[in-house]
Amino acid sequence: MDESLEQKIKDAIANPKNMGELADADRMGTVGNSDCGEMLRLWVKFKEEHGRKVIDQASFQSFGCETAIAVASMATELIRGKTAEEALALRHDELTGDLGALPPMKIHCAQLVEGALKSALTSDESKVGAEPENIPSLMDSLNKNAQPAQGRLRMLKKEN
Ligand code: FES
Instruction: Give the pLDDT confidence score for residue 3 in this predicted structure.
Output: 82
Instruction: Give the pLDDT confidence score for residue 25 in this predicted structure.
Output: 95
Distance of alpha carbon 91 from alpha carbon 134, whole angstroms: 31
Instruction: Give the pLDDT confidence score for residue 152 in this predicted structure.
Output: 38
Which residue, judged by its Cα, is nearest atom 2 of ligand 1? 109
Which one of 96, 109, 111 would you pick to mutate in the ligand 1 pocket, going by the greatest count of ligand atoms within 8 A of its CB? 109
Mean pLDDT by 10 residues, the chain (160 residues): 90 94 93 87 96 97 92 97 97 96 95 96 76 68 52 44
pTM of this structure: 0.82
Ligand 1 atom at shortest distance from the alpha carbon of 66? 2
User: Are residues 87 and 113 in contact, defined by beta-carbon separation less than 8 angstroms?
Assistant: no
Q: What's the CATH fold of domain 3-125?
A: Sufe protein. Chain: A (3.90.1010)
Instruction: Give the pLDDT confidence score for residue 149 in this predicted structure.
Output: 38
Count of residues for the chain? 160
Instruction: Give the pLDDT confidence score for residue 144 in this predicted structure.
Output: 63
User: Per-domain residue ranges for the chain?
Assistant: 3-125
